[in-house]
Amino acid sequence: MAPPPPAIWEFLGISSAEEYEQGIEVWEDNWPIFIVFTKMSTQWRCGPGGPVGLDYNVAKWLFELHDIQDQRQALSDLRMMEAAALKEIASQNED
């Protein structure tokens, strides 16, 4: 599996691709939003050029399903991961 984009390394608690390859540990505090992000993998809104963002209506439902209390922080964390994913998608489309 390819390492995640550098923009989310800090969120995952890693500082390099090599560290990721050794195995990563998702910090306990980040685990709930990491799960939400992975469950939203089919919830991308797309335009003519490809994905433009996640469907936040689904995010709210997943926050409730996973009993995430601080939904404001969870949305901020999700948006950070979304931005990193969109940056990575865009860089792949440049090739």
Number of Cβ within 10 Å of residue 82's Cβ equals: 20
pLDDT band at 2, cuts 50/70/90? low
Q: Which amino acid is at 70?
A: D
Query: Which tens digit of pLDDT belongs to each residue from 41-91?
Result: 889 999 998 899 999 999 999 999 999 999 999 999 999 989 988 887 887
Q: Report the SS3 class of residue 81.
A: helix
Query: Which tens digit of pLDDT belongs to each residue from 17-38?
Result: 777 777 767 788 888 898 899 8
pTM (predicted TM-score): 0.72
Domain boundaries, the chain: 27-94
Q: Report the SS3 class of residue 73.
A: helix
